[in-house]
Structure 1
Amino acid sequence: MTKRTWFTRVASVSVALTLIVPMLAACSGGDKDTSAERRVLRIGTLYGGKDNEPWFRQQYTDTFEFTHSNIDLEIVGAINSDSQRYEQYDPKKKQPDVYEELKKMLTGQNPVDVVVIDYTQLKRLIQDNLLQQLDPLITKDKIDLTDYVPTVIDGIKQIGDNNIYALTPTFSSSALFYNKKLFKDAGVPVPTDNMLWPDILDLARRVSKGEGKDRKYGFTFNRWPGSNGIWDVQNYASALQLKMWDDKGEKMLVNKPGWEKAWTTVAGLYKDDIIPDQDDVNKVNESKKPAASDSYNPMDGDWFMNGKVAMTISDFSFVNELNGAKENASKIKGFTPVDWDVVTVPQHQEQMGVGGNIGLNQLMGINANAQNADDAWEFIKFSNSREWAKLKSRSQYELTSRKEFLKVPDGSTPFNISAFYTLKPVPPTSTDMDSLYRDKPGIWEAQNPGNDLFNEVVKGTKTTKEALAEWETKGNAVLEKLKTNPTGQAEGGSTVEVKPMVKEAAKG
C-alpha cells in the first residue's frame, strides 16, 4: 500500500473528547489504573513523520490516551515519510524495504508493542513468527466476535491458519452498483448477491441498448469509461491472482490459459459494445452542443451517475456521492438522479466467496517481542470495542467492522449494505511485489506492451493467443535487460530500447 493510500483512505474526524469519554468508559472501564506508575506503549506504523503522527493520533490514539492517563503513547514509523517527501527521486537509488524496516521495529533493542499494518504485511509477519496470537486473549476476555463482519474475521483467519493475529476497527470494500431504471426499461431482471461473472456479464449484454451517443452500456469496471484495457483485465481477474511474471521477475507468465480466458472475456465486452471505450467517450463528447459546455456538471465524466451505464464497480464512498447528487439535483441542469442499489461484486467459480478491492488497512497486532504486551492488548481491545465502532461508523469512506453499526446512513436512499461486507478479501500473493518493484523499478516496462496488444485483440488485428505470445516475447526482453540494468534507464535518463527476443511461445 502506498503512503498516499494510507493517509487519504480515511477522512479526518474531529472528536470532542469530553463528550465521548462517558460512552467509552463502558468499554475501557474508565481509568482503572489509579497508581502513580506511568507506562509507555510504543505503537509502530508503516509511515511516520511530523505530518503523519498528528493524523494518526487523532484517528486512533487520542481518546485512548485521554481515558488511560497513566499510559504515554509513542508513535514510531517504519519509514520516515518526511525525508521521502522532500527528496528528489533518483531511480538509481535503492528505496527502503518497508517490510525489513517493519521487522527492525519489532525486533530491535527497543521494540514497539503494537503494530498497525495492512493485509499484505500480516501474512509475512505471521510466517516470521513476529506477532502474538490473539485467540487466547479473546477467549480470556470473552470478546464476542459474532458481530464482526465475515469480510474482516474470515479474511484475517484465512491467512492465519484459522487463527487471529490482528484486529481492525474499520475496512474498505467495493460492491456492484446497478441502475434499476435501465434494467426495467430493457425488461431484464436486476442482479442479485453472489452471482458469478458469466451471469453478470450476460445481464450486461441483455441490458445494453441503443446506438451512437444514445447507447446505454451494460457494464464498466469503474465509473470512468475509456480506461486502460489491460487494467480492466486485471480487475476482472484480481481474485484469480494471475501473475505477469515469476517471483524473481525473470520470466513472463502471461502466455497461459488463465490469461487467455481473461483477455478473451474482457476483449469481447469491448468488441460487442457492452463496455464503452475511448472512441465511444469521444463521440459522446463531440455530440454535445457548444452551449452545454457552459453548464457545470460535476458528474460529467461519470457515466453511471449520468444514466449511461447499467452496472459498475465502486467503493463505499460512492454511496455518499450518489446521495449528494440526489440532494443537489435541482442545481444541475438536465441531471436526473440515478435510482440505484448494490449487490456483491461478481465471483469466479474458482474462488467462490472471494471479492475484490477489499482493504483491511488498519490491522492492529501485538509484537511477539512486546515489552508492554498487557497495555498493547488493552489498546487493541479499546480500538476494536463496540463503543469505538459506534464512533467510527460515522465515517463516509470506510466501514466499521461490527455489523451492528453497519446501517444505511440517515437520509440515504435505502440500499443493500450487506453487499459490502459479505465476501472475503483476496489473499495476498506469494510474490513480494514491493521488493520486486524496489529492486527492479524498470519492471513496469514489461507490462507496457500488454495494453497495445490488448487493443489489437479488440480491433481484431490479432487473436488473443497471438497477442499473449507477443507480450511474452517482448516482456521477456525487458526482464532480460533488467538483469544488468534494474532501473530500465539508459544513460541520460531515457528508457532502454526493448527489442523482441526470439523465443518460442510457452504452451499451456
Structure 2
Amino acid sequence: MRKTYSMLLVSLLALTLLLSACSEKLALEPLDAEQNVKLKVLFWEENYFYQEYGNYFTMKYPNVEFEVISTTKVQQEMEKSYEDYQEAMYKFIEENQPDILMLQPDQYEKLASEGKLYELDTIMNQEKFDTESFLPSVMQMLKDKGGGKTYGLAATFGAQVIYYNVDLFQKHGVEVPKNQMTWDQVLQLAQRFPTSGSDKDRIYGLNLQGMGGVADLIMSLGRTENLRWVDKTGKKVQFDSESWRKAYQLATNSFKSGAIYDEKRNMPQMGDTMESYLARNPFTVGRSAMTIGGSWYMNEISRAKDQIKDFKPFQWGVVTAPINPAEPNSTNNMYLSEIMAVNAKSANTRAAWEFVKFVNGPEMARMQSRQMSGNLPTRKEFIKDKENHDLSAFYLLTPKFESYNSKEYQVPNNFYMTQNTVLEEQTKQYLDNKQSVEQAITNIQKQLQEGLDKGWQEDEAKKKKDKEKEAAKK
C-alpha cells in the first residue's frame, strides 16, 4: 500500500512538472522566421529609429517590417486643441495602437497602471533573459513604476556630472572635486581659482554648458533643491521665499566673483567651423577648472584633439553633479528618455518582444558603448570610454525619476519665456549695481505674478474663442 502511494506521489509530481513546463512554453509562441510581420513603433523620428535600432534588427529578422509613428504629430495636435502634452500623447497612443512604445517614465507609469502594457517578467524568466547586468537603480525604477512588475526596459540612460581638469587643480594647489558636493561647495571651489587676465587667456573656476547666463544657474539651483516657481494651483508665484532667496544670492554672488564663465557673452555664430565651435568652450581648451555636462560631452573632448589646432591634452575626471543636502544619495540629473514597452493589445506580441529583447541585449549595449553617441548603456559592464576613466559618477546616485501630477503646478504656455526674461533683466540690473538684491527679488516676484496672471487670462480667452469657433461650425 505504501509502495503504491509512493508511486502515485511520484507520478503526480512528474505530471505537475510536465504541466508547469508546458504552461511556461505557452507564454509566447516562438517567432516564425518565415512569417512576414509588420510592427508599428511609436518613436520620436523615423530616420533616427532606423539608424539607432531598426536597421540592426532587420539584419537579424529580415521578415520584420516597421511602420514608425512619429510623435511629432502629437505636438501638432496639441497646438490645435490646447491639450496638455501628456493627455495628447495618451490619446495619440490610443488612436494609433502601436505594437512597440518608446516612453518616458511618467508615461510608462500611467500606461502600466492602466493595464495597457505587456508584462515582461514572465517571458524574461522563461527565456532566462539577463537582467542582472543592468543598473539596479534602473531596474528597480521600472518595477516601482510598474506597480511591482516590469513592463518595459531601457537600453540607455543619460546623466549630468561635473567634469574637472586635474592639471589645473594640481597647478593651483586646489583639492579636486569629490562626489556628492552641494551647489554651495561647488561654487566655493570655483572661486578658489584666479580671476585675473584677459577674456582670451584667463581661466575660470566653472562654466555651465547649455545653461547660458545667471538665470539658468538660479533655476538649476532651485531644481536641485526641489523648489517650485508656483504653488500647486499654478496661480501664485512663490519666488519671494527664504529658499529662493538663498539660491538667488548664491548664484548671483558667484557670478559677481568672476569665477563663472558666462556663455551668453560668446554664443555660436553663423558660419562657425567645428574647430571654433569646440574652442568656444573654455573647459575643452583647458581654461576652465570645472564644467557641468552630460555623457555626450566626452565625445567633444575626444573630438577636440583632432579638430583644434595646437590642442593641449589634459587629464580630466568626473564626479556627481551637485546634490540636495537633504537627499545626498539621490539625484534628478539622471534620466531615461527611451523606455521600450510592448502594447498589451498587440497582435504581434512575440515579434514586439523580440525587438525589445534585441535592443536591450548585451550585443546592442556593446555596440552603443563603442559609438559613444550620447547616452550610456544601462548594462554596467559597457559603461566605459577608450581611456578607461572612472565613470561611476554617472550612475553612483539613486535617480529620482520624479512624477508630477499633470493637474498640479501647471502654468500658462508662455510663462517660461516670461520667467526667463524677467529673471535675466532684473538680475542684470543687480549685477550692474543698478538695484539692490532686495529690489531685484521684489521686482522678480511682482513681474512674474503679473506675467502668470496675464498668461492665464490669455489662455482662457483662447480656449473660449476656439470653443466658439467649433460651435459655429456645427
Q: Scaled by the length of structure 1, what TM-score is found? A: 0.72
User: 1:55 is matched with which residue: 48, 58, 68?
Assistant: 48
Find out whether 1:230 has 2:215 as its counterpart: yes
Q: Distance in 1 between matches of 2:249 and 2:94?
A: 48
Which residue in 2 is equivalent to 1:13? none
Would you say 1:455 and 2:432 are equivalent positions? Answer: no
The answer to whether the 8 A contact 1:230-1:454 is kept is: yes
The secondary structure found in structure 2 opposite 1:337 is coil
Provide Cα deviations, 1:95-126, integer angstroms capped at 9, x if missing partner.
Answer: 56543343235434x62222112334334434
Pick from 69, 74, 77 the counterpart of residue 70 of structure 2: 77
Percent pairwise identity = 26
Given that residues 223 and 303 in structure 1 are in contact (C-alpha distance below 8 angstroms), is that contact kept between their aligned partners in structure 2?
A: no
Q: 1:258 maps to which residue?
A: 243
Equivalent residues in 2 for 1:3-402, closer than 5 Å: 33-34=31-32, 37-45=35-43, 47=44, 52-80=45-73, 94=81, 98-108=85-95, 111-150=97-136, 152-157=138-143, 159-160=145-146, 163-208=149-194, 210-211=196-197, 213=199, 215-222=202-209, 227-277=212-262, 297-327=276-306, 332-333=309-310, 335-396=311-372, 397-402=374-379
Aligned partner of residue 258 in structure 2, secondary structure: coil
Q: Distance in 2 between matches of 1:257 and 1:443?
A: 22
> Structure 1 residues 57 and 313 mapped into 2: Cα distance closer, same or farther (>3 Å)?
same
Q: 1 CA distance for matches of 2:446 and 2:318?
A: 41
The 1:206–1:54 alpha-carbon spacing in structure 2 relative to 1, beyond 3 Å, is closer
Q: How far has the Cα of 1:342 moved from its partner?
A: 1.6
Residues 114 and 365 of structure 1 are in contact (CA less than 8 Å); yes or no, is this contact kept in structure 2?
yes
Q: Which secondary structure state, in structure 2, belongs to the residue aligned with residue 486 of structure 1?
A: helix
Conserved in 1, the CA contact under 8 Å of 2:335 and 2:401? no
Cα 1:316–1:123 change in 2 (3 A) is same
Which amino acid is the alignment partner of residue 116 of structure 2? L
Using the alignment, how far apart are the partners of 2:108 and 2:51 within structure 1? Answer: 24
Q: 1:201 to 1:35 in 2, by over 3 A?
A: closer
SS at match of 2:370: coil
Whole-Å Cα distance in 2 between the matches of residues 460 and 156 of structure 1?
50
Task: Compute the RMSD of aligned alpha carbons.
Answer: 3.7
TM, length-normalised to structure 2: 0.77
Q: Indicate conservation of the 8 Å contact 1:449/1:474, yes or no.
A: yes
Deviation track 1:128-164 (CA, whole Å, cap 9, x = no partner) reads: 4433443344334333323112563355456445653
1:356 Cα shift? 4.6
CA contact (8 A) 1:342 1:417 kept: yes
Structure 1 portions without partners, runs of 5+: 1-30, 283-295, 490-508
How far apart, CA to CA, are the structure 2 residues paired with 1:350 and 1:463? 30
Contact 1:223 1:313 in 2 (8 A): no
> How far did residue 368 of structure 1 move?
3.5
Q: How many Å separate the matches in 2 of 1:433 and 1:301?
A: 41
Taking structure 1 as reference, are residues 59 and 414 closer, same or farther at Cα in structure 2, changes over 3 Å only? closer
Greater helix fraction, Structure 1 or Structure 2: 2
3-state DSSP of counterpart to 1:167? strand
Q: How many residues align?
A: 426
Q: How has the CA–CA distance of structure 1 residues 167 and 297 changed in structure 2, closer, same or farther, with 3 Å as cutoff?
A: same
Are the counterparts in 2 of residues 204 and 311 from structure 1 also a CA contact under 8 Å?
A: yes
Distance 2:321 2:141 in 1: 16
Given that 1:443 and 1:488 are in contact with CA atoms closer than 8 Å, whether structure 2 keeps it comes out as: no
Give ranges in structure 2 of 5+ residues lacking alignment: 1-28, 267-274, 463-474
Greater Cα radius of gyration, structure 1 or 2: 2
CA displacement 1:415-443 (0-9 Å, x = unmatched): 22222232344423515499957x63455
Give the CA deviation at 1:463.
5.0
- What displacement does 1:310 show? 0.6
Mapped contact 1:237–1:262 kept (Cα < 8 A): yes
1:442 touches 1:488 (CA, 8 Å); kept in 2? no
Partners of 1:416 and 1:96 lie apart in 2 by 44
